[in-house]
C-alpha cells in the first residue's frame, strides 16, 4: 500500500484544497479509504487526521469498508420510488442478508443506494457491477441473485 500511496501523492503539491481529489484517487485505487491511507493523506496535506476523517465522513462518495466483488447499487430516485423502489431494495436486502451500505462477510456482495442514476424511464433500476438492470420487480430480484449463485 505504501508504494501505491506515495505514487498517488507524488502528483500533488500537498495543499488543503487537494484533499478531496486525493481522497477520490485513493478510493479509486483501493476501493475504500483505509485508515492508514487517511493518516498519510493528513500528514501529506499538513492537516489534522480528524479533518481528513471529517471530510471523508461528510461526503457520501467515501466509504471506510472494502467493497464486495459484486457491487449492487439500488437507485432511490423519485421516479424509481414512485414505481416501487422500496420493495426492490427490501428484496435485495433480504436476498443478500445485508443492509444498505454493508458488504457481505465473504466480500462477495456490497449493497449501496444512489440518489438517482438518471435512468428514470426504466425505473425502478438496480445497477450490478455497472450494468443497469431496468424495470425491476421483487421477483426479478430473486431470480437475479439465485441465478448468480
**And the C-alpha cell for 4?**
501505491
Q: Residue 76 interacts with other proteins (CB under 8 A)?
A: yes
Q: Residue 67 interacts with other proteins (CB under 8 A)?
A: no
The span from the CA of 77 to the CA of 86, in Å, is 11
- Among candidates 10, 26, 74, which has minimal Cα distance to 39? 26
Q: Residue 116 interacts with other proteins (CB under 8 A)?
A: yes
Q: Residue 91 interacts with other proteins (CB under 8 A)?
A: yes
For other proteins, which stretch binds (CB under 8 A), given 2-10, 32-40, 85-93, 101-109?
85-93
User: What DSSP letter does each residue of 131-148 carry, written as one string?
Assistant: EEE-S--HHHHHHHHHHH
Residue 63 exposure: Cα atoms within 13 Å on the Cβ side = 18
End-to-end C-alpha distance for the chain, whole angstroms:
32
Q: Residue 96 interacts with other proteins (CB under 8 A)?
A: no
The correct pick among 16, 36, 43, 64 for binding other proteins (CB under 8 A) is 16
Positions in the binding site for other proteins (CB under 8 A): 15-21, 23-24, 45, 54-55, 58-62, 76-79, 81-84, 86-87, 90-91, 94-95, 114-123, 125, 132, 134, 137-139, 141-142
Amino acid at each position: 500500500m505504501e508504494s501505491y500511496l506515495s505514487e498517488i501523492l507524488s502528483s500533488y503539491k500537498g495543499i488543503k484544497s487537494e484533499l478531496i481529489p486525493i481522497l477520490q484517487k485513493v478510493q479509486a485505487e483501493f476501493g475504500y479509504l483505509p485508515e492508514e491511507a487517511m493518516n498519510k493523506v493528513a500528514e501529506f496535506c499538513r492537516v489534522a487526521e480528524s479533518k481528513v476523517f471529517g471530510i471523508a465522513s461528510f461526503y457520501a462518495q467515501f466509504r471506510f469498508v472494502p467493497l464486495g466483488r459484486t457491487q449492487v447499487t439500488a437507485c432511490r430516485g423519485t421516479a424509481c420510488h414512485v414505481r416501487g423502489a422500496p420493495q426492490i431494495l427490501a428484496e435485495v436486502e433480504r436476498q443478500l442478508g445485508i443492509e444498505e451500505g454493508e458488504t457481505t462477510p465473504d466480500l462477495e456482495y456490497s449493497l449501496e443506494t444512489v440518489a438517482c442514476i438518471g435512468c428514470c424511464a426504466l425505473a425502478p433500476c438496480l445497477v450490478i457491477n455497472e450494468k443497469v438492470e431496468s424495470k425491476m420487480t421483487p421477483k426479478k430480484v430473486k431470480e437475479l441473485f439465485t441465478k448468480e449463485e
